[in-house]
Structure formats: C-alpha cells, structure tokens
Amino acid sequence: MHWVGPIVAIGSVLVGWFAFANAVGDDGVGFALFIGAASILLMAWSNLLSTRALFLERFFGGLDRMYRWHRWYGAIAVGAMWLHIENVDDVKGIRGASKDIADAAEDLAETGSTLLYILVGISLLRWLPTRWWRLSHKLLVLPYAFACWHFYTATKPYANNSPWGWWFTGFMVLGIAAWIYRVVWRDMIQRGAKYRVSNINQDGATLTIELEPLDQKIEQRPGQFAFLKFAKRGLLEPHPFTIASSPEEGVLRFLIRDLGDWTHNLMQSVQLGDRVTVEGPYGSLHPLPDDPAIKTVWIAGGVGITPFLAALKSLTSLRVEKPTLFYCIRSRDDAPGVSALQQAANDGLINLHLHVSSEGTRLKPEDIIRNVGKEGLVGAHAVMCGPSPLIRAIRPMLHANGVSQVHVEAFDIRTGIGPDLSIDIELLVNQVRQWVSVRRAYETTND
C-alpha cells in the first residue's frame, strides 16, 4: 500500500500533459506550460504531505516516508519551475485574465521564484537553528501562492472554467488549504494534548524525560512517535521523538540524544513541571508481527532502541516467539535502556546481543546469520531503527537471506547538505545576546 500514494501523486502530475499537448506558440511551448503546471502540482502535494494527515500514512508508508516524499516533491518542483521560466515565451490560447492583471501576476511570480530559491537554499544548508529554519519553511507558501496566481491568470490552451481548469485550480486550492490547516489550525489553534514533565534523568548525551497528562492522554502503540513542543523560549517549535514507554504505562517516556540545536537547548533548560504539548501519535512501525509464530529480529542503534523498549511490556501478555535483538552502542556506559533490556533478557523475553563499538564488536551481517541462522531469517519479521549507515549496511543482507520485508523507521524531519552548524550558530547568537544584555546593563548603570 505504501506505493499507492506516490503513484497517485505522480500520476496526477503526468496526466496534466494532455492539457498542453496541443498548445500553440513558440517551439516547445507545450512542454514549458506543462512543466510549470507540474511544479505547482508537486508543491501542492508537498504541502498536503506536510499536514501529517493520519489517513495518508497508509498510502505513503508512514510519516517518515511522507516527509521524504514531501522533500522530493519540493525539490523537483523547484527544478520544474526553473525549466518553465527558462523555456516559456509566446503562448497563444485562452487568456485567464486581462493583460494588465496577467502581467502583474507574472512579475509577482518572478519575484516569488527568487524568494523560492533563497528559501530552498536555507532549507538545504543545515546552518540555521531549528526555530529560524521552520519560520523560513513556512514562508514557502508565498512563492507558491504567487505561482498559482500567475498560472490562473496566464494564457493557456484551456479556459479556467473547463474540466482542465477545475483540475488545476482544485490542486492549487488544496495546496493553500493544506498550508492553512498545518500552520494556522494545527500549529496555532488545535495544538495537541497537554502534558507536564514529571521525571528527568540525564545520562551523558542522552536525556530521558517522562510526561504525565494534564487532561486527555494520547493513545499510542509500540513503535509510534509524537511531536513535542515545550512552552519555553527556543523550544516552541515541535520536534519528533519515538515513544519509549509502553501503552500500558500512565506516562509518556522519551529518550532524547543531544544531536542538534533544539535538543541541545532542551538538555540545558528542561525542568520538572514544564508544560509540553504532544501531537500524535504517528508512525506505522510494528515491532511485533501479527502472526505470533513468525520469528522476530530487531536491529537497533543508539536511541533507535526506543520502539523496542516500548514493546517489552507487550511481550509479557502476548504469546509471540522470543525476539532476537541486536543492539549497537558506542559504549556500555552511554547506552540508553541497557538495564531494561538486560532485565528482559534475564526474564526470558528477548535474546539480547550487544555490539559495542568501543570494544571492537561492531555489528556485521554475518553476526545476524550466525545467531539467527539462514533458515530463521526466511520469512522473518525484521525491524530496524537507527542511523542510516547501520540500516544501509544490514538491510541488503536481510533481503538476500529471505526476509520479505524489512520494517524501518529512519525519521528525519530536517535534512540537507553540508555540516550541521545549527548548534554553533545557536551558541554564537546566545553569546551575542548576553554581550548586548551586559552592555545595556553597563550603560544603564553609568547613566
């Protein structure tokens, strides 16, 4: 089912070619018009996927894959817009509005294209702190709206009140409505469930926090994640984390690694009693198979252990075959959840294999084959969660040895190119802010 969504999205774009196949004008005008329309439709789909609508998860394979397609559609849309601007010229057909309005809309679209390139460049370079990046990302609606207005008012082979006109206009309205739903309704009005921080434990670079509900709690299953928004300066933007607690517990537990400016701020400022807004749950990762007779193989790296920790309590009530867990960690002293996993292994709930890089016992594909056996991998329920290099190294071996499907969670709401300088810039900004504060205090004292 996870290919249904991408196929429908691409199909809705490609079918638009027939609206411009017979366009009259300069050479290649049909392609130029089509690629411009494709850019707008892809941006509409990108906006729709950013809503995190639960019904779409089934057709795109979970929220992590939805965001992957969200980024791809956005990137291709930028390239398509550039091709449209470089190729379109004289077009003969049905005018969408008066010449003055169409010319003004075209000028606005050219300004929007420049703004689009700037905002996309900001998104690709992981330099800005998260709160600034998210603000710049929300502004992408402006070039999209400018492009839609230009497309609607420009000369085309069809009228705006024709079937093709309704087709493209419908997608344009859908894209704007999706942005309003996400940014206005979900981020400002219906934000999520209210929780407060009830327990904090920091062990090295890993922070464990527990949240207790203030009103209605969310109903999750093992393997799902939620977006957290803290009512503190620098932490107001929602951030996704996998839920480490089981559904049977009365709290939500999260294991958070210090990996970026947002998590770094959280480590420095979180306190007991802090109010937290929780949006979710999301995700389609299933640590446990539907058929209890199927062999289960878990592979985790670092804080990727969280969905498996959430599934431990379910093992006591479900009659499933004992999962075999391969847990990759840097050191035993800096490994989230090791004590709980060792206790589960002692209780006979899991087969635990620790692979500690500081001790030279990195996980290799042959380690899994040796401990599970080639016959054991055939038709097994394999679940992976951890760093991308780990998944890329192990996944081909699982498929080659008879695992029909490898369930993976590799969620990254923000990706890009180049080094992640967000922490360094955040620290620099804080230093400048402190310097300005000291300077003002000095000037006030002297006055």
CB 137 within 8 A of CB 116: no
pLDDT in tens, the chain (447 residues): 889 999 999 999 999 999 999 888 877 889 999 999 999 999 999 999 999 898 998 899 888 888 889 989 998 999 999 999 988 888 888 989 999 999 999 999 999 999 988 888 777 776 677 777 788 888 999 999 999 999 999 999 999 999 999 999 999 999 999 999 999 988 888 888 999 999 998 877 788 999 999 988 898 888 888 999 998 887 888 888 989 888 888 899 999 887 777 888 888 889 999 999 999 898 888 888 878 778 899 999 888 888 899 888 888 776 778 899 999 988 877 777 888 899 989 988 899 999 988 888 888 888 888 888 878 788 889 999 888 888 888 888 888 888 877 888 765 665 655 555 555 666 676 677 777 777 777 667 766
Domain ranges of the chain: 4-189, 193-282, 296-409, 421-447
The tokens of 289 are what? Answer: 């198979």
The tokens of 325 are what? Answer: 């867990």
CATH for 296-409 (3.40.50.460, 3.90.70.10, 3.40.50.80, 3.40.50.720): 3.40.50.80
Neighbours of 163 (CB within 10 A): 9
Question: Distance between CA 252 and CA 220 in Å, rounded?
Answer: 9
The SS3 call for residue 50 is: coil
Neighbours of 235 (CB within 10 A): 21
In the sheet that holds 206-213, the strands lie side by side as 239-242, 225-230, 275-282, 193-203, 206-213, 252-257
SS3 content of the chain, % helix, strand, coil (to 5): 50, 20, 30
- Which string of DSSP letters, residue by residue, matches 191-211? --EEEEEEEEEEETTEEEEEE
Residue 135: the pLDDT is 82
State the Rg of the chain over Cα.
25
- Would the CA dihedral through 101, 106, 110, 116 be positive or negative? positive
Question: Distance between CA 304 and CA 335 in Å, rounded?
Answer: 11
φ and ψ at residue 208, rounded to 5 degrees = -110, 120
Residue 9: the pLDDT is 96
Question: Distance between CA 244 and CA 251 in Å, rounded?
Answer: 10
Strands (E), 174-244: 193-203, 206-213, 225-230, 239-242
First to last CA, the chain: 70
- Would the CA dihedral through 119, 69, 73, 37 be positive or negative? negative
**pTM assigned to the model:** 0.80
CATH for 193-282 (2.40.30.10, 2.130.10.10, 1.10.150.120, 3.90.1150.10): 2.40.30.10
- Tell whether omega for the bond before 281 is within 30 degrees of 0, i.e. cis: yes
Residue 416: the pLDDT is 56
